[in-house]
Structure 1
């Protein structure tokens, strides 16, 4: 749990042992930033209710303002893990209730703040679970600007607002990508497909650079779909990637998946080097990347 010191002149509130990250970083110009190893916060987006905001207690830094659940990162802790941990500690956000979509980083060189924009995949009610929150509320996106916001959050809100509706999705033509590497996949197609999907899972966990998706400059976590056909349909389901088993034509299943994703407002990229499928994918409103695009992004096998 991260608890910022009180504002100047306010009494110090009791708290437990401090983490080494719970310390101020002083800028060359004298400004202070909380979090020796940087800080992170969660912008949880609920499609029906808006975004989750925290009304900060009066004795905190910039008290009585609204901002995101968040705080100082621990040493060696990723920004994503830090944001989710802080959200659990400050707002009772359950494990696995929010799926990260994009990381937006404000980096001063000597200190950074990472906003994790994530989608609520398991609806929940926030709970005030530490002394830092006066109130927690789901706020419609259009109404956020009307609240008295923490200065840092206010400065970043316009940019963050532009990310709320950007939802990338990648659909992988597993047979085509698998077939582009002559590694003996034809001897055991299910095993080869499983290996490829396992690497996609690892990529999904680490995120994709903005340049690869031609999106605003952040680290993105798209929705991943792997379409398998024929013998490869026996592959097991995995966490982090939706495995679609084509009952007939794999190309047809990919086009259907793309059309459905586009209808849900996703920015769809289909990974295939098949020219015929690429044309159909474009007609369905998706972008197309060749197999090499994905293979260059995947971690080493």
Structure 2
């Protein structure tokens, strides 16, 4: 593997000198990959308008094709951070207008490209903000195959398209999780629930390995829903976690929540070690994991 800097004719970033990651990785057979530390791109999915595609300028690598806003990652930069930074630089994508759903990684051994699939939570209009974009457009899912696509994106699109309907949720029986460790939680149930919610928010931010959810690809960012009952209902809200406060029996609220989520097309993984509740959840088509499974994630 050889690292080759960009040629003098290739344009620099509009905001200053090149980052050390802006270089070619060249394999012994001459194959060139852009990004010394790998690369990342954002597949923004809008429920009404489709996916955001970038029409690349002619002089770029695989120019005059359509692909994703993205580019070389910085040293030590996560896939999500790299994809969000690059899409902001190239297409004006606001970081707070999208929510990552999954990461798919193409690994060539000496180089890797991470596609971050993210749902649009706040509609926005893309803006051409650097010389690499010829055009930016929202494209309906059914129309993507009709565009002259960047070879890398063309190879991954059928697999990604098939996964866009997968929307995982981790549904947590909070009382069962908190009660699994004798740490004095019974003296302050709302405080114990607060601590659990905070740790669940960490899981939401880090993501979950696809294998743990029995899903393909690499990493998923499932919706986290926690059901609180009794005195624990006084716990506060935490960003990244949806809290359901059971008015009566917690188990009934968990089953009802699972049914509601599944009816909207969600793939539900419920967390409880209560055997009776697990049986009820499986009857409504939810997958069930024991509390230890979640504690490993925490």
TM exceeding 0.5: yes
- Aligned residue-pair number: 292
Give the Cα–Cα distance (whole angstroms) in 2 for the partners of residues 167 and 260 of structure 1.
Answer: 14
The corresponding residue for 2:268 is 268
Instruction: Note the 1:143-158 alignment, pairs <5 A.
Output: 143-158=143-158
TM superposition shift of 1:285? 2.0
| Contact residue 41 and residue 114 of structure 1 kept, 8 A | yes
What TM-score, normalized to structure 1?
0.93
TM superposition shift of 1:5? 5.6
TM superposition shift of 1:283? 2.2
Give the Cα–Cα distance (whole angstroms) in 2 for the partners of residues 5 and 68 of structure 1.
Answer: 21
Give the Cα–Cα distance (whole angstroms) in 2 for the partners of residues 294 and 114 of structure 1.
Answer: 26
Cα displacement string for residues 247-280 of structure 1 (whole angstroms, at most 9, x for unaligned residues): 2121122122212211221100111111222122
The 3-state SS of whatever aligns with 1:180 is coil
TM superposition shift of 1:82? 0.2
The corresponding residue for 2:207 is 207
Cα displacement string for residues 60-97 of structure 1 (whole angstroms, at most 9, x for unaligned residues): 11111000010000111101100011111111111211
Instruction: Note the 1:1-301 alignment, pairs <5 A.
Output: 12-13=10-11, 15=13, 16-298=16-298
TM superposition shift of 1:284? 2.0
Give the Cα–Cα distance (whole angstroms) in 2 for the partners of residues 126 and 107 of structure 1.
Answer: 29
Please list every run of 5 or more consecutive structure 2 residues that lacks an aligned counterpart in the other structure. Answer: none
Give the Cα–Cα distance (whole angstroms) in 1 for the partners of residues 95 and 208 of structure 2.
Answer: 23
TM superposition shift of 1:13? 3.6
Alpha carbons of 1:144 and 1:5: their partners in 2 closer, same or farther (altered >3 Å)? farther
| Contact residue 261 and residue 268 of structure 1 kept, 8 A | yes
TM superposition shift of 1:14? 5.3
Give the Cα–Cα distance (whole angstroms) in 1 for the partners of residues 268 and 193 of structure 2.
Answer: 22
Deviates more, 1:170-179 or 1:10-19: 10-19
Cα displacement string for residues 158-209 of structure 1 (whole angstroms, at most 9, x for unaligned residues): 2211221111101100001111111111111111111111111111111111
Give the Cα–Cα distance (whole angstroms) in 2 for the partners of residues 165 and 28 of structure 1.
Answer: 39
What TM-score, normalized to structure 2?
0.94
| Contact residue 6 and residue 22 of structure 2 kept, 8 A | no
TM superposition shift of 1:40? 0.1
| Contact residue 179 and residue 185 of structure 1 kept, 8 A | yes
The 3-state SS of whatever aligns with 2:95 is coil
Please list every run of 5 or more consecutive structure 1 residues that lacks an aligned counterpart in the other structure. Answer: none
Give the Cα–Cα distance (whole angstroms) in 1 for the partners of residues 90 and 213 of structure 2.
Answer: 33
Give the Cα–Cα distance (whole angstroms) in 2 for the partners of residues 118 and 242 of structure 1.
Answer: 18
The 3-state SS of whatever aligns with 1:243 is strand
TM superposition shift of 1:117? 0.8
The 3-state SS of whatever aligns with 1:96 is helix
| Contact residue 100 and residue 116 of structure 2 kept, 8 A | yes
Give the Cα–Cα distance (whole angstroms) in 2 for the partners of residues 93 and 38 of structure 1.
Answer: 21
Cα displacement string for residues 11-69 of structure 1 (whole angstroms, at most 9, x for unaligned residues): 54454310111111111211111001100000111111111100011111111100001
The 3-state SS of whatever aligns with 1:17 is coil
Alpha carbons of 1:280 and 1:87: their partners in 2 closer, same or farther (altered >3 Å)? same
